[in-house]
Structure 1
Amino acid sequence: MEPNNEKKEYTNGEITVVWEARKCIHSGNCVRNNPDVFQPKEKPWIKIDGSTSEKIMDTVNKCPSGALTFYRNK
């Protein structure tokens, strides 16, 4: 898979965050809104256990490009 087509999922058991590299415009909204979870200098860069599911969902909903989405796990 080419790096720009990279798609990764991160779960805390309650929700799963999906990141699609090709859509990311690097606005920084995720990092500014929830730096305990979104840490672009780290690997993996999403530390899903760093915050509540509600705060993560709120942050993901602010992603202007749609690179970050989430779904609730059953």
Structure 2
Amino acid sequence: MNPNNLSKEYTNGKVTIVWQSGKCIHSTNCVKNNPDVFHPKEKPWILPEASTSEKIIETVKKCPSGALTYYLNNKDQD
């Protein structure tokens, strides 16, 4: 596994954030737009439980490099 091109997933149960280290240009848009979720000096640095899914999606869409993407988790529960 190349440490310069990692892919990690973080979920709050409704939405999963996918981060690809090799694409990240460290623009800090994620931190500026949603500081409750994105903590670059901590591990794990993404805490999706700390915000709403809507705010997370809004923030991820602002990532200029495409290092952050997301997908909605399928909730097929009765």
* TM-score, structure 1 as length reference: 0.98
What does 1:57-72 correspond to in 2, within 5 Å? 57-72=57-72
Counterpart of 2:6 in structure 1 is: 6
Structure 1 runs (4+) deviating above 4 angstroms are none
| Paired positions, count | 74
Cα shift readout 1:32-66 (whole Å, capped 9, x = no counterpart)? 00000000000000011110000000000000000
**Radius of gyration: which is bigger?**
2
Q: For residue 48 of structure 1, what is the amino acid of its counterpart?
A: P
User: What residue ranges of structure 1 are gaps of 5+ in the alignment?
Assistant: none
Aligned to 1:23: 23
3-state secondary structure, aligned to 1:5: coil
Give 2:37's aligned amino acid. Answer: V
CA RMSD of aligned residues (A): 0.5
Gaps of 5+ in 2: none
More helix by share: 1
Q: Could you say what secondary structure the match of 1:4 adopts?
A: coil
